[in-house]
């Protein structure tokens, strides 16, 4: 009937059972004079790194049940500082947190020692003039208001304010000078300041390498390195792009291919990282979506490479979903016969599947991915923090690939999905820990398969479970009627129906697969369509060999059968079936 493949985790690709322990999560303190933006910068940094945020001044007010000006007025500064030491000791016991401190917190040796022992302390600075402009509400800042004249002109008050700021800065300068990590926020917004801080940090990541054939990737800065495609997964890694590229010798001119909708979200964060590593870059916006995954846009991208003066030592870095990664990777594979590729996937679908393995390409109207090549990324940098900005539809889209990967490679992951999605799946699909497990385990499963079969000569075909029919559905709809995940979901259930009809799997497994996909809000049957056009597209599938369509069917969780005798009638019947199984 055909070949069978049983999934086996490969050496060097451990499949994680849970997210990394929180004890290894970063602790970062942000301090500085009032008006330098500590709280807003801290919030922005925490969001970038997937960490909690807290503010010592807010905690003090919560403990005392009143405002800081009131604490000073009623009890004096000495009482305030005593409470501040208590709060700092409590905060320092936490992990995975960004802490914004008061401007004078580190005047206490106790606070300085407690906080510096837990992690880096970042000093925010600004010019006295900028600070004065930001603390116009000095009446609510007791250390300033006590030194200001109550009945004076605006100019006199401003001069007095600048003098008081200078006095306090002089008093705190010996403490501030102990801090080596400093960011001047005079001309920066809080998100820009946060991006510069994040670029300096060495963030934890789940790492593994995929051994690939000689000549299948480009690493211009490490010409004697082993041919390996490196995968790193961790919250905040967008901010470490520059450091990670430098470590891999990929520090020549970077062509930053970024999906257009992401420019406002991540461009500052990415370029701050590249600037910190002194890596020159050129931004190349990419139109996203399967309808834009065309040879026409491929040509436009290549023209921008040439306009930017890209050479064979340049590095194409794709930032976005599967379309941006495929299209940018394809352009990188053919520009000057191949330049180095780095994938920075920002969608669930791209993180669990599309960014790993080196398959890149473009669509034509007749069929999906019919034009393409194998071009292994030197580095895949997945930042699960980017998943928090995705609309619900994109999370759902990616879950089709998660379920598919669980079926072909992990009974444990499939059981996890069944269990976790049983109650309140809508909430679960947005939980960071749930998504982290999906990303890390799916990436490890695909890496193991790709390493054993880099050019899809055998076992790697199992990764196409649900895709043969799914791609045809997308093509017939003009790449606008279905999302990729919706089409794969329909294709996966159809493959399970065929497998159940043939006796390869128990009907109970078909029911379980269908239920999990439905809990992810994915369709499990196809709507009416032009079946003749569908079949024509189906038979243009690139996996066809000797005139016969190769079709992947499950033979159990973790075991796939690749067969070449599935009839058109079986496929049409399976994709439209509506009876409960």
CA distance 123 to 100: 10
Residues 383 and 438 in one domain: no
**Residue 395 is assigned to a structural domain of this protein:** no
**Residue 102 is assigned to a structural domain of this protein:** yes
Q: Classify residue 308 by its DSSP letter.
A: T
**Residue 17 is assigned to a structural domain of this protein:** no
Check which CATH number belongs to the domain holding 468 and give it. Answer: 1.20.1090.10
Residues 260 and 342 in one domain: yes
pLDDT at 556: 94
Residues 168 and 27 in one domain: yes
Residues 288 and 426 in one domain: no
Within 10 A of 153 (CB to CB), how many other CB atoms are there? 9
- The whole-number mean pLDDT for each consecutive block of 10 residues of the chain, a chain of 581 residues, reads 58 46 73 94 96 96 93 92 96 96 93 96 95 74 66 74 88 93 96 96 92 79 74 95 94 95 95 97 94 94 96 96 95 95 97 95 84 94 94 95 95 96 94 94 94 88 92 87 92 96 95 97 91 87 68 93 91 78 40
pLDDT at 158: 79
Within 10 A of 278 (CB to CB), how many other CB atoms are there? 9
**Residue 494 is assigned to a structural domain of this protein:** yes
3-state helix, strand, coil in the chain (%, to 5): 50, 15, 35
Check which CATH number belongs to the domain holding 120 and give it. Answer: 3.40.50.300
Enumerate long-range contacts of 486-489, CB under 8 Å, 24 or more apart.
486/397, 486/400, 486/522, 486/523, 488/400, 488/401, 488/404, 489/400, 489/403, 489/517, 489/520, 489/522, 489/523, 489/524
**Residue 162 is assigned to a structural domain of this protein:** yes
Check which CATH number belongs to the domain holding 266 and give it. Answer: 3.40.50.1970
Of 44, 53, 48, 41, the closest CA to residue 96 belongs to: 53
**Residue 209 is assigned to a structural domain of this protein:** no
CA distance 526 to 577: 8
Residues 259 and 383 in one domain: yes
Residues 174 and 31 in one domain: yes
**Residue 357 is assigned to a structural domain of this protein:** yes
pTM greater than 0.75 (yes/no): yes
Q: Classify residue 395 by its DSSP letter.
A: H
Residues 250 and 136 in one domain: no
Residues 361 and 440 in one domain: no
Residues 469 and 380 in one domain: no
**Residue 498 is assigned to a structural domain of this protein:** yes
Q: Domain boundary at 165, 199, 233, which?
A: 199
Beta carbons of 556 and 500 less than 8 angstroms apart: no
Residues 157 and 235 in one domain: no
pLDDT at 544: 61
* Domain housing 530: 2-6+418-576
Enumerate long-range contacts of 205-209, CB under 8 Å, 24 or more apart.
205/232, 205/233, 205/234, 205/237, 206/16, 206/20, 206/232, 206/233, 206/234, 206/440, 207/231, 207/232, 207/233, 208/12, 208/13, 208/14, 208/444, 208/447, 209/12
Residues 240 and 191 in one domain: no
Residues 452 and 565 in one domain: yes
As for how many domains the chain has, the answer is 3
């Amino acid at each position: 009937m055909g070949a069978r493949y049983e999934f086996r985790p490969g050496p060097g690709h451990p499949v994680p059972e849970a997210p990394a322990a929180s004890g290894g999560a970063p602790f970062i303190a942000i301090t500085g004079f009032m008006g330098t933006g500590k709280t807003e910068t801290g919030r922005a940094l925490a969001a970038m790194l997937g960490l909690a945020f807290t503010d010592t001044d807010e905690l003090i007010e919560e403990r005392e049940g009143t405002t800081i000006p009131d604490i000073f007025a009623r009890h004096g500064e000495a009482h305030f500082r005593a409470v501040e030491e208590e709060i700092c000791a409590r905060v320092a016991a936490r992990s995975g947190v960004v802490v914004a401190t008061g401007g004078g917190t580190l005047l206490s040796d106790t606070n300085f020692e407690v906080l510096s022992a837990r992690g880096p302390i970042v000093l925010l600075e600004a010019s006295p003039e900028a600070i004065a402009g930001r603390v116009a509400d000095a009446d609510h800042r007791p250390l300033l208001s006590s030194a200001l004249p109550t009945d004076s002109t605006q100019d006199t008050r401003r001069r007095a304010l600048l003098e008081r700021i200078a006095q306090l800065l002089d008093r705190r300068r010996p403490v501030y000078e102990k801090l080596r990590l400093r960011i001047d926020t005079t001309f920066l917004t809080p998100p820009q300041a946060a991006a510069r801080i994040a670029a300096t940090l060495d963030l934890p990541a789940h790492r593994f390498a995929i051994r690939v054939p000689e000549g299948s990737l480009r690493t211009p800065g490490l010409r004697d390195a082993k041919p390996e495609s490196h995968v790193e997964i961790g919250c905040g890694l967008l901010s470490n792009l520059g450091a990670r590229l430098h470590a891999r010798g990929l520090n020549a001119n970077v062509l930053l291919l970024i999906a257009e909708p992401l420019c406002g979200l991540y461009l500052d964060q990415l370029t701050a990282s590249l600037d910190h590593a002194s890596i020159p870059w050129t931004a190349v916006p990419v139109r996203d979506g399967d309808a834009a995954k065309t040879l026409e846009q491929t040509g436009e991208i290549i023209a921008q490479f040439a306009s930017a003066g890209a050479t064979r030592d340049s590095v194409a870095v794709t930032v976005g979903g599967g379309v941006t990664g495929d299209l940018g990777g394809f352009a990188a594979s053919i520009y000057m016969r191949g330049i180095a590729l780095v994938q920075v996937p920002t969608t669930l679908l791209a993180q669990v599947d599309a960014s790993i393995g080196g398959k890149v390409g473009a669509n034509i109207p007749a069929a999906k991915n019919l034009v393409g090549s194998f071009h292994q990324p030197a580095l895949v940098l997945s930042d699960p923090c980017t998943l928090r900005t995705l609309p619900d539809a994109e999370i759902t889209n990616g879950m089709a690939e998660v379920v598919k990967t669980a079926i072909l490679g992990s009974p444990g992951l499939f059981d996890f999905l069944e269990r976790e999605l049983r109650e309140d799946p809508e909430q679960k699909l947005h939980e960071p820990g749930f998504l982290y497990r999906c990303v890390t385990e799916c990436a490890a499963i695909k890496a193991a398969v790709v390493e054993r079969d880099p050019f899809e000569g055998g076992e790697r075909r199992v990764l196409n479970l649900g895709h043969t029919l799914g791609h045809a559905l997308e093509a017939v709809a003009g790449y606008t009627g279905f999302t990729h995940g919706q089409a794969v979901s329909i294709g996966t259930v159809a493959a399970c129906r065929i497998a159940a009809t043939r006796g390869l799997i128990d009907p109970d497994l078909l029911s379980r697969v269908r239920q999990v996909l439905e809990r992810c809000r994915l369709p499990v049957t196809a709507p009416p369509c032009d079946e003749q056009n569908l079949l024509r597209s189906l038979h243009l599938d690139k996996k066809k060999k000797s005139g016969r369509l190769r079709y992947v069917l499950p033979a159990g969780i973790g075991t796939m059968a690749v067969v070449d005798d599935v009839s058109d009638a079986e496929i049409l019947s399976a994709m439209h079936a509506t009876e409960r199984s």
